[in-house]
Amino acid sequence: MNNSVAPSGLLGDTAARDYSGKLKLFNAFAKPELCQSIAYLEPKPGMRVLDAGCGTGEVLDWLSATVQPEGMAIGIDLAAAHVAAARAVASRGTLLVQADLLMAPLAHASFDLIWSANVINHLRVPSVGVEALISLLRPGGSIALGQSSLLPDMYFAWDARLERVLNEAIRQYYRDRYQVNERELTAARANVGLLRRSGLRNLRARTIMIERMTPLRDEDKSYLVDVIFRHAWGPRLQPYMSSDDYDELSRLCDPLHPDFALNRPDFHFLQTFTLVVGER
């Protein structure tokens, strides 16, 4: 065992952890809604923006495009593999730093805009992360915390019962794997309170719906099959479901089975992405 490895975050993040494949698929899938969310923040050329927990860097690159040519975009992430993936897609004027955002080697009060999506809920003490990020904002600068719903709001539109059973199985799996409780799993609901308590001004929230139905784009199919059906669900849920429900789920998730969900004309998928924005 390597004792030099830092303790992991609430959801297991370390410098050595790599889920870059999953992040890339999510960003390709949700690109239209993520770009809509960036536009909502009205970034301007010349701004200095930070993507805190930038993952594989696609959003950082889209943010960067809005502040160029005079502006600067910096991405910071704990994971070496994620930073390497982000460097590979970074355009000119975009800098990447591999570091813990709780100890960011960045000048205080130096950013006009901070974006941090699906990151704060990975920290053991989210309020400490929010305070660290706010200290990097210049007075009058804005911070936007983005959070997608942990569980999609609808994936099997024709079978609410199976969705309920499946949601409970996923929650139970997360509770066992990360030893987190129900409150910690519903972090998407905490961001308004977090920013309110940190004393920011002009708080606002905006939820954008990621909605898909057949015919699906290739990006949609790749995300739904690889990230949700195979990675998030799959055999890991078997112990948490009855064998009949698990068999039904397996048929719906199997691209080679006649019941494959993504081939159904009534397939209809909903997942929210919520931005909470405040000014220093």
Interacting residues with ligand SAM (CB under 6 A): 9, 13, 23, 26-27, 53-55, 59, 76-79, 82, 100-102, 117-119, 122-123
Tokens of 116: 């941090």
Q: Measure the CA–CA gap between 7 and 78, rounded to whole angstroms.
A: 12
CB of 189 to ligand SAM, least distance (A): 17
CB of 99 to ligand SAM, least distance (A): 7
CB of 59 to ligand SAM, least distance (A): 6
- Judged by beta carbon, residue 29 or residue 229, the one nearer ligand SAM is 29
Q: Is 49 exposed, middle or buried (0-12, 13-18, 19+ CB in 10 A)?
A: buried
Q: Measure the CA–CA gap between 95 and 93, rounded to whole angstroms.
A: 7
Tokens of 92: 């000119």
Is 111:138 a contact under the CB 8 Å cutoff? yes
Give the residue nearest to ligand SAM (CB): 55
How many CA within 13 A on the CB side of residue 213? 5
CB of 101 to ligand SAM, least distance (A): 4
- Judged by beta carbon, residue 61 or residue 77, the one nearer ligand SAM is 77
Instruction: Classify 8 in phi/psi space as left (phi over 0), alpha (psi -120 to 50) or beta.
Output: beta
- Judged by beta carbon, residue 109 or residue 128, the one nearer ligand SAM is 128
The structure tokens 């130096």 sit at 110
- Judged by beta carbon, residue 33 or residue 159, the one nearer ligand SAM is 33
Torsion sign, CA atoms 106, 125, 127, 177? positive
- Judged by beta carbon, residue 76 or residue 143, the one nearer ligand SAM is 76
- Judged by beta carbon, residue 105 or residue 265, the one nearer ligand SAM is 105
Beta bridge partners of 197: none
| Closest to 26 in 3D by CA, of 258, 227, 272 | 227
CB of 222 to ligand SAM, least distance (A): 15
CB of 28 to ligand SAM, least distance (A): 11
